[in-house]
Amino acid sequence: MSRIAFGTWQLGGDWGSFDEDAAIAAIHHARELGVTFFDTAQAYGFGKSEAMLGKALREELKRDRDNLVIATKGGIKPRSERPRDSRREWLAQGIEDSLRYLDVDHIDLYQIHWPDSDAPAEETAGILQEFVDAGKIRHVGVSNYDAAGLADFDRTRPVETLQPPYHLFRRDLETDPLPYARENDIGVLVYSPLGSGLLTGAFTPETTFEKTDWRSRSSAFTGETFRRNLAIVDRLKEFAAGKGISVSQLAIAWTLARPGVHVAIVGARKAANIEASLAAADVDLSADELAEIDRLTADAVPVSGASPEGVA
């Protein structure tokens, strides 16, 4: 797989309005540049994102299916009475719906989007294994799990991949569950390496977001937390400029330099944006540079993101 995956959360309606044709062009351009891994989810517009990805890749999926890795996620129902739902009925329906929206006969990697404490891990793992046995799923992963959750799942069938949030303003992954993933040979595909836009260098303290953009309701994108972290982004911009790269490339390269991280999932709505992200995979950071980045971000305010229950 390519070390940069094309993520599609931004195509599901939670990030404000966008041009669908431009988004499909971005997916096409990512393929032209060598991206082979695409990540989506049932909850990204309840099929909207999956359908758009399937539409963009339809001809290639029919012509050369095995050269593409399509990952999706299920097991949640945001804005419902039970936002996390890995019970058999909803999970099975989600897998069948994802196959239909993507217009494929199998999903390369199916992931449980968020842990569901009311659904025993052995049952969830067992359901996914049934779909593997049926040939509808090839590999099984989880997203947003901690080490204890991974261990519970592992007792029934191995977790092959973990998809956690990870960026310079959110580093709790380093203590749990990244060590467990390294010790148990679990592939780590991190999402939000750009801090949901914080690390793009495109924002100022005056930046606001559309009401349909989840960031408009997040404490990470308003007030003192926003201002303090943007000041740190300015420091990182200066450091990145000294290497001849952008701050977004620095942020992605930093993520990929962390031991145990295999893939960074980066979204784009415009073709030009994906080029810069892909170039970040070729940026080398020395031990001294990594230490300097730690120093520059030492007083960052840790931030969280959206969850099935809402936005912090």
Does residue 210 lie in a domain region? no
Which CATH number belongs to the domain containing residue 131 in this structure? Answer: 3.20.20.100
Q: What is the pLDDT of residue 79?
A: 85
Q: Do residues 306 and 230 make contact, with C-beta atoms less than 8 angstroms apart?
A: no
267 Cβ contact partners less than 8 Å away, ≥ 6 residues apart = 6, 7, 8, 9, 10, 11
Listed residue (171, 177, 178, 212) closest to 195, CA to CA: 171
**Within-domain flag for 45:** yes
Sort strands 306-307 and 263-267 into parallel, antiparallel or unpaired.
unpaired
User: What was the pLDDT predicted at 192?
Assistant: 97
In a domain, 301, yes or no: no
The list of the chain residues with pLDDT below 50 reads none
State the pTM of this model.
0.96
Inter-residue contact 267 to 194 (CB < 8 Å): no
The question of whether 101 is a catalytic residue gets the answer no
Of the residues 44, 145, 166, 191, only one is catalytic, namely 44
* Within a domain: 30: yes
Residue 230 CB burial class (10 angstroms; 0-12, 13-18, ≥19): middle
Q: What is the pLDDT of residue 43?
A: 94
Q: Is residue 145 part of a domain?
A: yes
Q: Is residue 175 part of a domain?
A: yes
- pLDDT value for 41: 97
Q: What is the token pair recorded at 39?
A: 């990540």
Domain extent for 71? 4-195+256-283
Q: What is the pLDDT of residue 15?
A: 86
Domain membership flag for residue 225? no
Using DSSP, state whether 297 is helix, strand or coil: coil
Q: State which amino acid sits at residue 26.
A: A
Quote the pLDDT of residue 180: 98
Q: Are 27 and 58 within 8 A, CB to CB?
A: no
| Chain centroid to CA 210 | 21
In a domain, 140, yes or no: yes
Q: What is the pLDDT of residue 247?
A: 98
Q: How many domains does the chain have?
A: 1
Rounded-to-integer distance, Cα 132 and Cα 109, Å:
10
Which of 133, 171, 177 is CA-nearest to residue 153?
177
